[in-house]
Amino acid sequence: MCEEILKKFENLVFTKDKAQNLVVEINKDDLILIVKNLKDNGFDMLICVSGVDFRDFIEIYYFLYSTKLAQKVILKTKIIDEIESIWKIFKSADWFEREIFDLLGVKFANHPNLKRILLPEDWKGYPLRKNYVANDIRLVWND
């Protein structure tokens, strides 16, 4: 089903993860179009957005779900540190993207309110990056 919807896009790599969920590797420039296409064709819920730091690049995962077909699809894209925001398509992406910005430092272009959500506003660094060193003075309580 998902394959059919995404037929017209090029450079897609279809794989399966360990739990037999469909994972589609996409180019970050096609993201908006693909997500919009999926939404129009039944994938009406954005379950989650997550990001992983692989040192050289960051991978962003979009977990989409179709309530009618009971199908899941995971979009995966490689970026350096910037990607287009999809909050106009799914409003829930607003906070998911803020969380990724907060913890991974990924900048989402055209995001309306891109600021820290879980950490304090004046926190330094992005904790989920692999090169993050936890030496913030606020973590030392005993002095």
Residues near another protein (CB under 8 A)? 17-21, 44-48, 50, 52-53, 61, 63, 67, 70, 72, 74, 90-92, 94-95, 99, 103, 116-120, 127-128
Of 22 and 29, nearer to another protein (C-beta) is 22
Q: Look up residue 46 and give its two tokens.
A: 């954005």
Task: Report, in Å, the least distance between residue 85 CB and another protein.
Answer: 15
Cβ(79)–Cβ(106) below 8 Å: yes
Of 30 and 97, nearer to another protein (C-beta) is 97
Give kind and range of the element (H or E) at residue 8: none
Cα angle 63-69-72, degrees, rounded to a multiple of 5: 20
What whole-number distance in Å separates Cα of residue 43 and Cα of residue 40? Answer: 7
Task: Report, in Å, the least distance between residue 48 CB and another protein.
Answer: 4
The strand pair at 22-26 and 45-53 is best described as unpaired
Task: Report, in Å, the least distance between residue 42 CB and another protein.
Answer: 11
Task: Report, in Å, the least distance between residue 129 CB and another protein.
Answer: 10
